[in-house]
Amino acid sequence: MAISCVWLICFLSLFLGHGVLDQLEASHIVYTNVETLQPASPNQTYRTSYHFQPPKNWMNDPNGPMIYKGLYHFFYQYNPNGAAWGNIVWAHSTSEDLVNWTPHDPAIYPSQQADINGCWSGSATILPGEKPAFLYTGIDPGSQQVQNIAVPKNLSDPFLREWVKSPKNPLMAPTSMNKINASSFRDPTTAWLGPDGWWRVIIGSKIDRQGLAILYRSKDFIYWIKANDPLHSANGTGMWECPDFFPVSTTSQSGLDTSMLGLGIKHVLKLSLDDTKHDYYTVGTYNLAMDRYIPDSGSVDGDSGLRYDYGKFYASKTFYDSVKSRRILWGWINESLSEVDFVKQGWSGVQAIPRTLWLDKSGKQLVQWPIVEIETLRTNRVDSPSTELKGGSVLEISDVTAAHADVEISFGVSEFKHADALDPSWTNPQLLCSQKGASAKGGLGPFGLLVLASNYLEEYTAVFFRIFQGQNKYVVLMCSDQSRSSLNQNPDKTTYGAFLDVDPSQEQLSLRSLIDHSIVESFGGDGKVCITSRVYPTLAIEDGAHLYAFNNGTEGVTISKLSAWSMKKAQIS
């Protein structure tokens, strides 16, 4: 049911509030006494060329992405006053291609009792009649987390530059009756409409260490009733932030509207774990009659389960692109610098390149790939013929701007007798990558790319594969080794890793890396594993950056495909 328009023309907030919470969202730390470090103008050295970020200040969670009247809209958590977290508003930009962006005034900001202490994350739902609506978390005067609604003031404006909040806010709130944790009740999803005419939405929460996806239902999108049981819960997982729940096709790579149900459809529940700052997901079945989500057998709840991205990637949000029939994923890349250092540089946070997302043909995991539009920025293509990369060798990929590039490489392996044995206790791929980094010689691998590398390899970020002999199969490990990413000792240099579900005896090992000054987004196995690194080299910047293929194993591998492009700068004001 469409929302009544009576209150739309009566309530418009025009002032910017700056309330400070006594009790803040657990995933965001407020840093005190750092604003004095804010520079007069931001440091441009490590700013990206084609990843979305505002000109300065703090940015975190993506909020309410959608397409409306042919325009893509992106909203995000933003501090207009500085590079540390605080004073959060929903900043707003629009685009025709998801690559080049035009900024607008903030869409929502603290102005009501229901959000006077903060406008936190939420989602956009397109209601019947092509009417967008935000559901978002506000913080009330009692520091309770409550759920609110805002809608466009003028639906004929394709830029949706003004938004109106309901005087009925909050629509959902903790009470003594519903036993909701008032400090852990946030981040409503895009709502979905059931065949019974009821809207449904979930909100992240917890009770002690049990993570909860609290379910609400509504007939009119204003009056919401809490369900007796959550859509899903899991013990020992802690607070579930930024939940996302959507259908995926089992027969096609096309995306589905969030309300789709029926044969040939599975569902995905994504959760952002406050304890670990990782996004994980499960694939399963949505039982509409019970309003319960049941993960498939083998789909693991918690931090040891599947992740969208095994590096710096959090608080992600998807939306259905109805024009191109695809589901698109946004994710926040947070800093590897300390708060003092990123405040000094004048900005913090970047958004990952939007990714198209679909269910793998196995039905067990998702596949992600950068939106095809990002390829419009490619220029000066460089191709290399098929060549053998002998053990212990390094091959420079020349004639590309290595500080901002897109590279695709595939490796073929024909001889496996030198593959190292996989110890059955090696179940943690990130730990394994940290123990067996790029400099640790193996039998089959490490081989891959050295990106943002200095001329004499004093600095590099290594993205690579290793092949092990497991029980009755070969096991592929994909790593992003940041241990030598910078001569500066301050940035976090965590090494990331994941096991890649590919049989290297039957198919090539493919790797694509998007390199952008201080970002390395890598996609292994045609998007089965994604790892994003946040690095701050001191030598490998601008013209000092180089790009290499390498093999530090004893066994040679074949580079069967190698294409690289310099990347033009996107128009992001």
Query: How many other C-beta atoms can be found within 10 angstroms of the C-beta atom of residue 48?
Result: 22
Using the 8-state DSSP alphabet, how is residue 430 labeled?
Answer: H
Which of 61, 115, 187, 274 is catalytic? The answer is: 61
> Please, is 11 exposed, middle or buried when counting C-beta atoms within 10 Å of its C-beta (0-12, 13-18, 19+)?
middle
Q: Is 89 helix (H, G, I), strand (E, B) or coil?
A: strand
**Residue 171 burial by Cβ neighbours in a 10 Å radius (0-12, 13-18, 19+):** buried
Cα 121 to Cα 57, 100, 186: the distances in Å are 18, 23, 7
| Residue 61 annotated in active site | yes
Q: What are the residues whose beta carbons fall under 8 Å from the beta carbon of 48, sequence distance 6 or more?
A: 350, 404, 516, 517, 518, 519
Handedness of CA 264, 269, 270, 275 (dihedral sign): negative
Do 282 and 245 meet the contact criterion of CB atoms below 8 Å apart? no
CA 109 to CA 88: how far, in whole Å? 7
Please write down the HEC assignment for all residues of 281-335. EEEEEEECCCCEEEECCCCCCCCCCEECCCCCCEEEEEEEECCCCEEEEEEEECC
Residue 560's contacts (CB-CB under 8 Å, 6 or more residues apart) are: 386, 410, 411, 412, 508
Supply 158's token pair: 């394709």
Q: By CB neighbour count within 10 A (0-12 exposed, 13-18 middle, 19+ buried), where does 442 fall?
A: buried
Q: What is the largest CA-CA distance in the chain?
A: 74
**Under a CB-based contact definition with an 8 Å cutoff, are residues 391 and 555 in contact?**
yes
User: Which residues make Cβ contacts (< 8 Å) with residue 36, sequence separation at least 6?
Assistant: none
**SS3 assignment, position 36:** helix
Tell me the two tokens of residue 235.
Answer: 């013990």
Peptide bond into 370 cis (omega under 30): no
* 515/566 Cα distance (integer angstroms): 10
| 342: three-class secondary structure by DSSP | helix
- Residues 369 and 255 sit within 8 Å (Cβ to Cβ): no
Q: Which residues are catalytic?
A: 61
